[in-house]
């Protein structure tokens, strides 16, 4: 059954939503309605050379089954302004913004983890923060197996998490850096040049000294896993990478789980949907040539999300026993922050709702 869908926002996430809708064959009864603050023609958007963008207004939602929110209106997400209008039009809203994620009445959904939070009555669904999504996709199967007690996470987050302007800022600074080794201070987006530096500051600071990005990882993870008892502490860092977030995650479990057992779970596509394990020897450990070779291991990096088969997946590697705590593990988790961390996730929610007869 074909549906009528729209997207509000024409930044990198809007672009990726349009690509995902096509790639994943979301059954559309009419072309995706693309909306933004102003009417305009966008070039090279969503895999199309020229795309017509309409000004967002209540009338634009008429006849739609689902609206993806992927844009800002001033300092807030577009859903703050348009949520009611979408509901009046009878459409379901799937929001990539952060404004309603912690609202107890709003399900916060990662389809691989907690799709059951969406029911026939659900009219508004929040999609989590990019750094949260990739962490819970990797950790949910391990939580089911051994119960997570505490998480210490440090992130390596691409500039595209901020949006198009941040990607352009890095793009402007890189040639300056190549020429002079010292890009001009350009305060448009980041507090200092991001080429080539790591900035431990994502989103605003909270009075606690943590950033809102760090608190999102804490609070959203607990909500998605329905596990308020899990202890989580985070340090989130912007790195000079265009697309793709990486996370070094240290986990203490309630019950015993070894790196080997964790790898077995993560390699099982039924137990760990959306996960690809990139770990283990780079050669066949049974081959003589490998036994004689130096020990080298595979691991994922942010560039790996450019591979077509991995672009919507959460890549896990560097799975190690951590003997410094009872039932401890270390992991390295990588995903495309614009796709699985945003666009893919909202399109997957719509797909899964269609499959469950909740949409259209």
Residue 203 within binding range of a copy of itself, rule CB under 8 A: no
88 part of the interface to a copy of itself, by CB under 8 A: no
Q: In 3D, which of 143, 144, 332, 325 has the Cα closest to residue 252?
A: 325
How deeply is 202 buried, as exposed, middle or buried, from its count of CB atoms within 10 A (0-12, 13-18, 19+)? buried
Catalytic-residue membership of 178 = no
Cβ atoms of 127 and 206 within 8 Å: the answer is no
The reply on whether position 209 binds a copy of itself by CB under 8 A is: yes
Q: Per residue, what are the HEC states of 83-107?
A: HHHHHHCCCEEEECCCCCCCCCCCC
Whichever of 34 and 202 has its CB closer to a copy of itself, that residue is: 202
Catalytic residue status for 130: yes
| 117 near a copy of itself, judged by CB under 8 A | no
Residue of the chain from 231, 291, 307, 356 that contacts a copy of itself (CB under 8 A):
231
Contact (Cβ atoms closer than 8 angstroms) between residue 124 and residue 95 = yes
Short-list 347, 358, 308, CA closest to 26? 347
Of residues 255 and 282, the one with the C-beta less far from a copy of itself: 282
Query: Binding residue for a copy of itself (CB under 8 A) from 11, 14, 161, 193?
Result: 193
Binding mask 300-319 for a copy of itself (x = CB under 8 A): -xxx-------------xxx
Task: Report the 10 Å Cβ neighbour count for 201.
Answer: 15
Nearest Cα to Cα of residue 222 among 209, 214, 231: 231
Smaller CB separation from a copy of itself, 254 or 352: 254
- Is 177 near a copy of itself (CB under 8 A)? yes
Q: At its nearest, how many Å lie between a copy of itself and the CB of residue 163?
A: 17
Q: Give the separation between CA 191 and CA 205, rounded to whole angstroms.
A: 13
| Bond from prior residue into 196 cis (ω within 30 degrees of 0) | yes
SS3 at position 147: coil
Q: Tell me if 294 contacts a copy of itself by CB under 8 A.
A: yes
Residues that bind a copy of itself (CB under 8 A): 150, 152, 154, 156, 174-175, 177-178, 181, 192-193, 196-201, 204-210, 231-233, 235, 237, 239-242, 246, 248, 250, 259, 294-297, 299, 301-303, 317-325, 328, 330, 332
Which residues are tagged catalytic? 130, 245
């Amino acid at each position: 059954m074909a549906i009528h869908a729209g997207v509000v926002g024409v930044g990198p996430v809007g672009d990726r939503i349009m690509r995902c809708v096509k790639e994943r064959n979301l059954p559309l009864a009419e072309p995706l309605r693309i909306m933004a603050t102003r009417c305009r023609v966008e070039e090279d958007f969503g895999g199309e050379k020229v795309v017509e963008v309409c000004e967002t207004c209540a009338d634009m939602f008429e006849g739609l089954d689902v609206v993806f929110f992927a844009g800002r209106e001033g300092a807030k997400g577009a859903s703050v302004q348009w949520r009611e209008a979408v509901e009046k039009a009878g459409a379901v809203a799937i929001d990539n913004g952060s404004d309603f994620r912690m609202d107890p009445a709003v399900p916060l959904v990662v389809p691989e983890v907690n799709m059951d939070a969406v029911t026939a009555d659900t009219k508004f669904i929040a999609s989590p923060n990019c750094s949260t999504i990739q962490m819970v996709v990797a950790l949910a199967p391990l939580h089911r197996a051994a119960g997570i007690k505490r998480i210490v996470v440090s992130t390596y987050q691409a500039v595209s998490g901020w949006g198009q302007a941040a990607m352009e800022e890095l793009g402007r600074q890189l040639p300056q850096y190549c020429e002079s080794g010292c890009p001009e201070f350009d305060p448009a987006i980041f507090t200092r040049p991001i080429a080539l530096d790591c900035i431990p500051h994502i989103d605003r600071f909270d009075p606690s000294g943590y950033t809102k990005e760090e608190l999102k990882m804490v609070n959203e993870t607990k909500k998605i896993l329905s596990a308020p008892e899990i202890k989580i502490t985070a340090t989130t860092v912007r790195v000079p990478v265009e697309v793709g977030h990486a996370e070094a995650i240290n986990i203490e479990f309630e019950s015993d789980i070894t790196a080997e057992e964790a790898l077995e779970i993560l390699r099982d596509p039924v137990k760990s949907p959306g996960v690809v394990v990139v770990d283990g020897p780079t050669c066949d450990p049974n081959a003589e040539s490998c036994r004689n070779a130096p020990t080298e291991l595979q691991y994922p990096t942010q560039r790996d999300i450019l591979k077509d088969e991995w672009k919507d997946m959460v890549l896990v590697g560097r799975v190690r026993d951590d003997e410094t705590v009872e039932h401890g593990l270390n992991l390295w988790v990588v995903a495309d922050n614009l796709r699985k961390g945003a666009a893919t996730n909202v399109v997957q929610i719509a797909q899964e709702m269609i499959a469950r007869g909740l949409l259209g």
